[in-house]
């Protein structure tokens, strides 16, 4: 059908995300999908039972805009137990329809035309487009492949009077690095006595390996006061399709986020909120996630022993980076396509996470899969 209206795209350089492209190709070639951070195994059956129970009890209409009180209270208790900080359930906790929606609501509510927003490449691909849609300017600071640590000196140099927000992500997608206490201190020092807001994407908060700790911004009182924390139930409970997350922020920040949230979604799905409220009350449902995913990480690493890939450290998240440049000079996009077509394994090129398409000869593997998939995927990659 021909549209007679003349269009002017707000995002003329944005096409279909790499996740959709790779997913479609994987299906076409019947490839094992190690590309997406979405589990292919079942969630805790109690979660389904409790969501169904809520549905059968007629709890199928809109929840309150800010989220079910029971769920917000459970979030407060969880955050107090894991981070040692207290948020007010009524004024500082908002249940959102996915962490992605929380990111959008936070940026849209707090960033204005002409502002600058600092973020780090490689990064989750939604940050920069959301910033641009607000008439603001994304300022990219690249992370090198030398440990992918945040270069705080470069952040200091990038600060201007127009800097409104700094977006951080720990554990980090796609590099699998995690913040340290020193990182929090550096961030606090740079934002002290400024009007800068920190947006902290912490969807993998419960997936930190090798006895490490999650240093989220809520652990630091100064940062907590100026930060928005975005988290995901989908990642923590293996139900990414349920699309429920939450935002934590001081009351003044929360008020602005809710103004956007109410017109985007109004409320997250009601039966799922009841289910999460019930399970979140049991700390064991999330306390074992680090060990659970570390076993999967280690299984994939063990399966790739003897391959030609150089595996980079994975300190948290669902991901493992693998360098291939030492045996192939292909562009990472071409290499990933060849893996799908010739070896029937789907991965993601790291360049997809860089705003300038920087190609370091590295691919990202997801180990949020069942054991059989990881073992077979590693076997196929050993043949590369």
Question: How do residues 309-357 score in pLDDT, each as one tens digit?
Answer: 999 999 999 999 999 999 999 999 999 999 999 999 999 999 999 999 9
- List alpha helices for 213-366, DSSP H: 221-226, 233-236, 251-264, 270-280, 284-287, 289-303, 332-338
pLDDT at 159: 98
Residue 224 has pLDDT above 90, yes or no: yes
pLDDT in tens, 241-276: 999 999 999 999 999 999 999 999 999 999 999 999
pLDDT band at 9 (very low <50, low <70, confident <90, very high): confident
pLDDT band at 368 (very low <50, low <70, confident <90, very high): very high
pLDDT at 199: 98
The whole-chain average pLDDT of the chain stands at 95
For the chain, helix, strand, coil in percent to 5 are 40, 15, 40
- Lowest pLDDT segment from 46-55, 178-187, 279-288: 279-288
pLDDT at 307: 97
Overall average pLDDT of the 286-296 stretch:
96
Q: Which residue has the higher pLDDT, 7 or 319?
A: 319
pLDDT at 10: 87
Residue 144 has pLDDT above 90, yes or no: no
- Lowest pLDDT segment from 13-17, 343-347, 373-377: 13-17
- The rounded percent of the chain whose pLDDT value lies above 90 is 89
- The rounded percent of the chain whose pLDDT value lies above 70 is 100
Overall average pLDDT of the 181-202 stretch:
98
- For the purposes of burial, counting CB atoms within 10 Å of the CB of 355, is it exposed (0-12), middle (13-18) or buried (19 or more)? middle
Residue 125 has pLDDT above 90, yes or no: no
pLDDT at 37: 86
> Model's pTM, two decimal places?
0.95
Overall average pLDDT of the 191-202 stretch:
98
pLDDT in tens, 230-240: 999 999 999 99
pLDDT band at 3 (very low <50, low <70, confident <90, very high): confident
How many CB atoms within 10 Å of residue 191?
Answer: 20
Cβ 254 vs Cβ 247: under 8 Å: yes
DSSP characters over 254-282? HHHHHHHHHHHTSS--HHHHHHHHHHHTS
Instruction: Map out the domains of the chain with their CATH numbers.
Output: 18-43+288-382 (3.90.1150.10), 62-286 (3.40.640.10)
Overall average pLDDT of the 295-307 stretch:
97
Residue 145 has pLDDT above 80, yes or no: no
Alpha-carbon 322 to chain mean position:
20
Residue 215 has pLDDT above 90, yes or no: yes
């Amino acid at each position: 059908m021909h549209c007679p209206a003349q269009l002017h795209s707000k995002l003329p350089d944005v096409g279909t995300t790499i996740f959709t492209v790779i997913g479609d190709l994987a299906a076409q070639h019947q490839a094992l999908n190690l590309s997406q951070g979405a589990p292919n195994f079942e969630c805790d059956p109690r979660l389904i039972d409790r969501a169904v129970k809520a549905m059968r009890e007629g709890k199928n209409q809109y929840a309150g805009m800010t989220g079910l009180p029971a769920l917000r209270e459970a979030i407060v208790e969880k955050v107090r137990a894991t981070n040692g900080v207290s948020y007010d359930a009524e004024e500082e906790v908002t249940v959102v329809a996915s962490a992605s929606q929380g990111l959008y609501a936070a940026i849209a509510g707090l960033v204005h035309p002409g502002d600058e927003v600092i973020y780090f490449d490689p990064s989750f691909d939604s940050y920069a487009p959301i910033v641009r849609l607000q008439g603001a300017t994304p300022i990219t600071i690249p992370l090198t492949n030398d440990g992918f640590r945040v270069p705080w000196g470069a952040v200091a140099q990038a600060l201007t009077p127009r800097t409104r927000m700094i977006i951080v992500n720990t554990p980090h997608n796609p590099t699998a690095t995690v913040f340290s206490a020193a990182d929090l201190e550096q961030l606090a020092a740079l934002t002290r006595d400024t009007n800068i807001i920190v947006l902290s994407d912490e969807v993998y908060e419960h997936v930190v390996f090798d006895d490490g700790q999650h240093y989220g911004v809520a652990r630091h009182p100064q940062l907590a006061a100026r930060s928005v924390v975005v988290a995901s139930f989908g990642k923590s409970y293996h139900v990414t399709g349920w699309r429920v997350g939450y935002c934590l922020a001081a009351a003044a920040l929360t008020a602005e986020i809710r103004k956007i949230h109410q017109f985007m979604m109004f409320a997250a799905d009601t039966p799922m909120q009841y289910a999460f409220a019930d399970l979140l009350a049991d700390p064991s449902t999330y306390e074992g996630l680090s060990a659970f995913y570390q076993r999967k990480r280690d299984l994939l690493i063990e399966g790739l022993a003897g391959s030609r890939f150089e595996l980079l450290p994975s300190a948290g998240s669902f991901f493992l980076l693998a360098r291939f440049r030492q045996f192939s000079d292909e562009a990472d996009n071409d290499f990933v396509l060849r893996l799908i077509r010739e070896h029937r394994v789907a991965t993601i090129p790291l360049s997809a996470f860089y705003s300038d398409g920087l190609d370091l000869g590295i691919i990202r593997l997801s180990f949020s899969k069942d054991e059989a998939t990881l073992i077979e995927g590693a076997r196929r990659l050993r043949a590369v």
